[in-house]
Amino acid sequence: MQKAKGFTKSRTGTYVSMAATAFGAIGVAKQARKARLEHDTLRLIDAAVSAAAIVTGLAILYRELKRLGDDDVLLG
């Protein structure tokens, strides 16, 4: 049970977080496509800001993955 508490600080937990964050890109892409078709500038700006947040989130998670190194919680 103690190992499960540290899941989010493990390599596996970081990979899961990265996948979930990347999955959000699908919704942003749909939003941007719809905004372009409707010529809705405000929604297009919202999609661009959301895409920037996703890229930033992935970069932070990647950095965290690099910092984990060999001290993985689940590996012991």
pLDDT 10s digits, 30-51:
999 999 999 999 999 999 999 9
- pTM of full prediction above 0.75: no
Structure confidence at residue 11 (pLDDT)? 84
Residue of higher predicted confidence among 22 and 72:
22
Structure tokens at 4: 């499960």
**Dihedral sign, Cα of residue 63, residue 68, residue 70, residue 73:** negative
Radius of gyration of the chain (CA): 17
Amino acid at 14: T
pLDDT in tens, 48-70: 999 999 999 999 999 988 888 75
28-56: burial string, b at 16+ Cβ within 10 Å, e else: beebbeebeeeeeeeebeebeebbeebee
Question: Quick one: pLDDT at residue 76?
Answer: 45
